[in-house]
Structure 1
Amino acid sequence: MADGRIAIVTGASSGIGRAVAGHLARAGARVVAAGRNADQLGRLADELAAAPGEIVTAPGDMTEPGYAEGLLATAERTWGPATVFVLSAGKGLPGTVLGSDPARWRELVEANYLAVLHQLRAGGAEFTRQAAADGGGQARDIVVIGSTVGRQVSAANPVYGSTKFALHSLVEALRQEVCALNVRVTLIEPGFVRSGFQEAAGYDMAWFDRIAEECGPLLTPDDVAETVGFVIDRPRHVHLDDIRLRPTRQRA
């Protein structure tokens, strides 16, 4: 259950990460909310001041060396060792192989692959260390927000999609590596979510409005947050390791 658990949520400044941090705090968890926008994190903390759980904010850049280790240290210093790590931070990039901006490729790979790989390593190492000490006596959860575009090739959005394909491979490999210690590594693959992600990444919003008309109602960040909460609330012996979450009318 989320009540009483200590959680780290990256990408908590906005969108899905913000919704996850709020959902967990309202369910009684103690949450380290991490993101790049300190002002938005502060507003989130104000909104959750009366929640059953607690929240501390940790502004920072996920691509900085030691980012994940610092979040784990913040949790332990404030409340104790974290047992939930939700990786929600990431970037988008519109365009095809020929049409996308090559000047943004490196930044995308650093944010969506290398930074997440470092977070997976840090979280996995910490949780296995804890589990070795207590014999895996409790479930520990690493939850990664992926995308349906990391499962089905899209000629319209392949550069971003390729980072999600790579990420999904890492998540399954880490699951296999740590599952014997009751460390659960879960991938959640949302389809179209109305969250502000598309605007921030520079996608064509007229295109996105057409998608919303064709496939809507679209998912909301709260839909994804509720799914995260459901996953970590399973009994220790139950692991929902890969969930695709789409608007009902979304075909691909």
Structure 2
Amino acid sequence: MDEKRVAVVTGASSGIGRAIAARFARQGVRVLATGRDGRRLADLAAESDQAPGAVRPFPGDVTTPGHARELLAAAAAEWEAASIFVACAGHGLPGTVLGSDPTRWERLIEVNVLAVLHQLRDAAAEFVRQAELDGGRRVRDIVVIGSTVGRQVSAANPVYGSTKFAVHSLVEALRQEVCAHNVRVTLIEPGFVRSGFQDAAGYDSAWFEAVAAESGPLLTPEDVASVVEFAVGRPTHVHLDDIRLRPTRQKV
């Protein structure tokens, strides 16, 4: 990877987003890291202080109107225009269509679909603008963290899964729209990852540990981060646009 690149990473205060931001910094990338937990972002920045790159914390909520534009402007003001945007922030929701909590549906869709759509639109518009200025000589990457449950229908987790199906569709449509500008839009679809995601969403811990016993060892956030690093590090003419990774023993 070109160590001079600038990246924006959402959802960077924990889990996969945090691992991506930290890994980028170790590779020399300058990272604007955003999330709702300012203390954890500050800890991430401190831990990356000796890395070849840098992490600058920028607390915020991805559902705030104009947040992605604000992030891109802040990165440009701090260093230079970003050429990587990673959309990682998201919520989970346990339960079936009949069994999930309907009072949480709107927030789930707001975070997992509408906020991602705004991020995609704003990042792509900025990257296309940059490409038109330099003739697309520099590759630019938009990476979205999806899920294997957004490809295979799950009767046990369909509401969350439906948001990932929607995002997967948007990612491919945007890829087709901007690829001529050397803007790569990449979907990463992890299977089961052991992180704080399950606890934050309220998934049953006994169920999750049963999954881990059957399918583990589970993926770690660092496993996903290494795949993101590899994808954005390909030469300009190479695009790994859709990558699924699972624990080896995960069946579906």
| Same fold, judged at TM 0.5 (above) | yes
Aligned-partner Cα distance in 1 for 2:2–2:141 = 11
Mapping for residues 146-157 of structure 1, pairs under 5 Å? 146-157=146-157
Q: What is the identity percentage for the equivalent residue pairs of Structure 1 and Structure 2?
A: 69
> SS at 1:31's partner residue?
strand
Deviations along 1:65-103, whole A, 9 cap, x unmatched? 011000001000000100000110000000000000000
> SS at 2:228's partner residue?
helix
**Counterpart residue type for residue 189 of structure 2:** E
Aligned-partner Cα distance in 2 for 1:251–1:220 = 17
Deviations along 1:6-45, whole A, 9 cap, x unmatched? 0000000000000000000000000000000000001001
Q: Unpaired runs of 5+ in structure 2?
A: none
Deviations along 1:133-157, whole A, 9 cap, x unmatched? 1110011000000000000000000
Offset, 1:238: 0.1
Aligned-partner Cα distance in 2 for 1:184–1:19 = 21
1:135 is aligned to 2:135: yes
Aligned-partner Cα distance in 1 for 2:193–2:54 = 27
Cα distance change on mapping 1:97 and 1:2 into 2, 3 Å: farther
Offset, 1:2: 4.2
Aligned counterpart, 2:168: 168
Aligned counterpart, 2:18: 18
Q: How many residues align?
A: 252
Aligned counterpart, 1:56: 56
Aligned counterpart, 1:124: 124
Deviations along 1:186-210, whole A, 9 cap, x unmatched? 0000000001100000000100000
Mapping for residues 1-252 of structure 1, pairs under 5 Å? 1-252=1-252
Off by >3 Å, runs of 4+ in structure 1:
none
> SS at 1:41's partner residue?
helix
Aligned-partner Cα distance in 2 for 1:58–1:129 = 24
TM-score of the pair, normalised by structure 2: 0.99
Aligned-partner Cα distance in 2 for 1:61–1:185 = 22
Maintained 8 Å contact 1:85/1:141 = yes
Aligned-partner Cα distance in 1 for 2:160–2:67 = 22
Maintained 8 Å contact 1:146/1:187 = yes
Maintained 8 Å contact 1:2/1:232 = no
Aligned-partner Cα distance in 2 for 1:19–1:29 = 13
> SS at 2:212's partner residue?
helix
Offset, 1:55: 1.3
**Counterpart residue type for residue 117 of structure 1:** L
Aligned-partner Cα distance in 2 for 1:66–1:92 = 23
Q: Unpaired runs of 5+ in structure 1?
A: none
TM-score of the pair, normalised by structure 1: 0.99
Aligned-partner Cα distance in 2 for 1:249–1:51 = 34
Offset, 1:54: 1.1
> SS at 1:160's partner residue?
helix
**Counterpart residue type for residue 173 of structure 1:** A
